[in-house]
Amino acid sequence: MNMLGAQGNPCAAAPSRVYLVQLLLLYLLSLFFMGSPQSDPAKCPGSSVAIPYPFTISDNSSIVRTLGFAILCEPAGPMLWLGSKLYTVLNISLDQGYLRVTGDTVYSQCQQNNGLVTTNFLNLVGTPFTFSHTLNKFTVVGCDAMAMIRSGYSYRGGCVSFCASEGSITTGACSGVGCCQASVPEELKALDLEVTSIRSQLQQSPSGSWSNISRNNTSAWCTKAFIADQGSYVFSRGDLDRNLTNLPMVLDWSIYGGRCSDARRAPQTYMCKENTECYTVANNTGYRCNCSEGFRGNPYLQGPDGCQDIDECKDEMEYPCTHKCINTVGGFNCVCSMGMTGDGKKHGNGCRRDTKLLITAGGGLPLLLVLLMLGFWTHWLVKKRKLAKTRQRYFLQNGGMFLKQHMFPQRGPLRIFTSSELEKATDRFSDNNIAGRGGFGTVYKGVLCDQMVVAIKKAQRVDESQVEQFVNEMLILSQVNHKNVVQLIGVCLESEVPLLVYEFITNGALYHHLHNTSVPMPWEVRLRIAFETATVLAYLHMATKPPIIHRDVKSSNILLDESFTAKVSDFGSSRPMLHNQTHVTTLVHGTMGYMDPEYFQTSQLTERSDVYSFGVVLIELLTREKPIFCGKLDEVRSLALHFSTLFHENRLMEIVDHQVAEEAGASHVKIVAQLALRCLRLKGEERPRMIEVADELEALRRLIKQHSVVDPEE
């Protein structure tokens, strides 16, 4: 992610909103066909699965097919129509808003191909359900498989599974060898798969003992892809040869009606009843209901089956008071015995001797004032200690101790910001100050109290992976001191969400200037940007100790200041190369179109992986084409492959930007193209080092300045 956020794919079609209208019609039909809700919960005969309202049982299969919340009772148990398939319902959660089902959820194919696209293998469009991105995992089983989740012409997720040798397959481990897993994209309604053979992609065949096995065991090359409950599937070596069936899958559900504030404006269809709280889900297109604190029941029903007051005083196992309990609507009160005072709660302050009696006995107003002052001071001290503990907890949660032990002093001390300072700088992180969005989170423009303009990176969620990226980027930047790297100014460790503060880069990302503007940059400026980026990568590979691999080199991570000087950013996924290491074995990470195919196949990251990605950026500068673009008949094409094909067919000038061709000339363009293609060689050992690339680019810059590159055709 950069200071202005990730760039979109113009080939991707805008998401259809027709299904929103369908959901509203389905809800109205449910009111017509099913009438008033019955006592909750219902059950199918012979089944233990509770079916709470708004889910209802219907004996009409055509209604079940039409209405998202209608359940059909079959001998095998309660069934639900999802798209064109019938699934068995395992359980329904009202509080957490999910539905667990099983059925035909596994896609399988055993033919080798260059990209089999399966549209709507699982389709939830037109239903109130989405694939749960928190409770599911997208899993691929196979030895020669890349399975990607598509949305139009863009990719939303996926993973790669291969088998280097039979001994490399480990039962129980789903780490990319025989089996791989990835997160399910948020708000996913349709599972459109693109299944590709890795061998066909790279025009290479596997080597070693596994290659010999594959000739006798063709089922080992079958690909199985599915979305399943993340706790339900454990990979086994035998899964490569057997069919996988009846894997549980979790679906999130919601009531269509927009945000809660919108739904309340239509009381005739608003589903949350008395004593409930409404919360918005499904990308602001739906909502769910929960009982308010102190109430229990079904929030979608009225009367005795709805949310009713809990009598906490009758809870013998967890009686809440130290003395006497008095139940109230939505809560309870504790009463202390005579001569005692306090909240009377077991988990509160309890009851203690009443000091007012002592004040009366003393008969002095000064004593009362002293006690009041003592009370205010105690309250202030408790509040201060509570705030300090909260900040210390966030400090530890955000990796503070690890940073304190491992931060390096080369860059000098970083500024430590408080959360209130950054809230003031961004007007409480107002949407008006958003400068960009990306996979890591959101970047805000802020103005500090000393009038310095900064960019503040705020993680979009708090989990281990986000904290790891946060800590990793700080550690990497603490070792980097280069004029063409975005400067880290400071951090905020006391807030729940990690915050990094950078210098603000005014002209945004190189990606924007190449692909989203009609004003082209002169070739001399583009060549300088390429040279400056190459020097940064050469510096990371050679001058830092240990050497650093950037791992996500792309035009959206190259920012431009007011003088169009390159500033390389986003080191969250970078990796250090320890002493005597030739590579780092990692889970595959990167951006499609820029990713090194050798790293993609082997999971072995080297400095030559950055060289490959830089080669793609160099082609972008020459052509102003995107790394993944739409060709004829709207097929998705690789810029690197297309550029190489045209070069070897002597048709290079067909793809080169006309301004570059006019300013640089055909001979100069050919030299740059040859350098880019050397960076894009499939074998990393055949690619040049970044220092060699930087030297050649500097020589080309000098030739341009001296007007010594002359096109013989001119």
Residues 232-245 have a mean pLDDT of 89
Q: What is the pLDDT, as a whole number, of residue 401?
A: 56
Q: Which residues pair with 63 in a beta bridge?
A: none
Q: Angle at Cα 671 formed by Cα 670 and Cα 676, nearest 5°?
A: 95
610 is catalytic: no
CA distances from 424 to 248, 380, 394, 462, 704 (A): 47, 24, 20, 22, 48
Whether the bond between 304 and the residue before it is cis, its omega within 30 degrees of 0, is no
Q: Among 3.30.70, 2.20.25, 2.10.25, 2.40.50, what is the CATH number of 255-310?
A: 2.10.25
Which of residues 407 and 31 earns the better pLDDT score?
407
| E strand map for 410-470 | 415-416, 434-437, 441-447, 453-459
From 144, 305, 309, 552, active-site residue: 552
Residues 176, 157: Cα–Cα separation, whole Å? 15
Inform me whether the pLDDT recorded for 644 exceeds 90: yes
Residues 343, 496: Cα–Cα separation, whole Å? 30
Q: What is the pLDDT, as a whole number, of residue 466?
A: 61
Residues 597-602 have a mean pLDDT of 89
Residues 487, 502: Cα–Cα separation, whole Å? 6
Is the full-model pTM beyond 0.85?
no
Residues 19-37 have a mean pLDDT of 43
- CA pseudo-torsion sign 449, 454, 459, 462: negative
Q: What is the pLDDT, as a whole number, of residue 36?
A: 46
Inform me whether the pLDDT recorded for 144 exceeds 50: yes
| E strand map for 343-409 | 352-353
Q: Which residues pair with 5 in a beta bridge?
A: 437
* Percentage above 90 pLDDT, the chain: 37
Tokens 């280069």 locate to 482
Residues 622-627 have a mean pLDDT of 95
| CB neighbourhood size of 395 (10 A) | 16
In tens, the pLDDT along 446-477 reads 999 889 999 998 876 555 556 667 667 777 77
Inform me whether the pLDDT recorded for 202 exceeds 70: no
Which of residues 508 and 388 earns the better pLDDT score?
508
Enumerate the domain spans of the chain: 16-253, 255-310, 313-353, 400-503, 510-705
| E strand map for 264-379 | 276-281, 286-291, 295-296, 308-309, 324-328, 331-335, 340-341, 352-353
Q: What does pLDDT average to over the chain?
A: 81
Q: What is the DSSP letter of 14?
A: P
Inform me whether the pLDDT recorded for 32 exceeds 70: no
Q: What is the pLDDT, as a whole number, of residue 355?
A: 64
Q: Among 3.30.70.3270, 3.40.50.1980, 3.30.200.20, 3.40.50.620, what is the CATH number of 400-503?
A: 3.30.200.20
- Three-class DSSP category at 344: coil
**What would the two tokens of residue 309 be?**
């007051």
Fold match between domain 255-310 and domain 400-503? no
**What would the two tokens of residue 480 be?**
């980097």
For the ranges 6-20, 568-582, 599-613, the maximum mean pLDDT occurs at 599-613
Q: How far apart are the first and last CA of the chain?
A: 42
In tens, the pLDDT along 654-696 reads 999 999 999 999 999 999 999 999 999 999 999 999 999 999 9
Cβ 455 vs Cβ 443: under 8 Å: yes
CATH topology for 510-705 is Transferase(Phosphotransferase); domain 1 (1.10.510)
In tens, the pLDDT along 267-277 reads 888 999 999 99
pLDDT category at 402 given cuts 50, 70, 90 is low
**What would the two tokens of residue 151 be?**
């949305």
Residues 704, 710: Cα–Cα separation, whole Å? 9
